Chain A
Amino acid sequence: QVQLVESGGGVVQPGRSLRLSCAASGFTFSSSVMHWVRQAPGKGLEWVDAISHDGTKIYYADSVKGRFTISRDNSKNTLYLEMNSLRPDDTAVYYCAGGPTIDYWGQGTLVTVSS
């Protein structure tokens, strides 16, 4: 059974940093492109970034480029998102997603950026 479990969300002040993790199981994590997708309260889905199966290719949305860093540890079946210089408009539920056609999703972790 495929499972993606995000952790690390919480309340953080503007300008501070936060690191999210996503633990994967039930599929071949090391063969899968992985993504972070976010959803601001009451809004639609926004793709954030993606990383190739071996970590050599990384892609970012313009809205997070230079502030967020996606990475992975295939030995631990874990995906990460390092978020720096956080802004109030980064407030969202952050989903970890992956699979051949982005068919696996976690339940999300809420990040609230507020003073």
Chain B
Amino acid sequence: EVVLTQSPDTLSLSPGERATLSCRASQSVGRYLAWYQQQPGQAPRLLIYDTSHRATGIPARFSGSGSETDFTLTISSLEPEDSAVYYCQHRSNWPITFGQGTRLEI
């Protein structure tokens, strides 16, 4: 089973700042790494799939990079509505697993 470890656990930033969230895999997942945003009381929303592809309707300020075991989600200029928990997830093999999440406070 691939273990995904996210860092930091919590990130506190101001509007307009840049956020960098990390996800490290215990073994290579190729480029099959996705990022989800979850706001309180809501279902997760896909932001990025296959490392760097933005999902439909996702603003350009969200970008993803990385490969194999080290991945990054970057939010270039934070908006207040970006306050949420962010999860990485791999689908390179079974079982699919999620990281423990990073809470982003704006």
Show the binding face of A for B, using Cβ within 8 Å: 35, 37, 44-47, 50, 59-62, 95, 101-103, 105-108
Structural contact, B98 and A45, CB atoms closer than 8 A: yes
Check B50 for interface membership: any CB of A closer than 8 A. Answer: yes
Tally of contact residues, B, Cβ under 8 A:
25
Structural contact, A59 and B44, CB atoms closer than 8 A: no
Total number of residue pairs linking A and B with CB closer than 8 Å? 54
Check B12 for interface membership: any CB of A closer than 8 A. Answer: no
The B interface, classified by DSSP as helix, strand, loop or mixed, is loop
Say which residue of A50, A102, A105, A107 sits within 8 Å of B34 (CB atoms): A102
Structural contact, A44 and B98, CB atoms closer than 8 A: yes
- Cα A106 to Cα B42 with chains together (Å): 9
Closest to B99 in A: A44
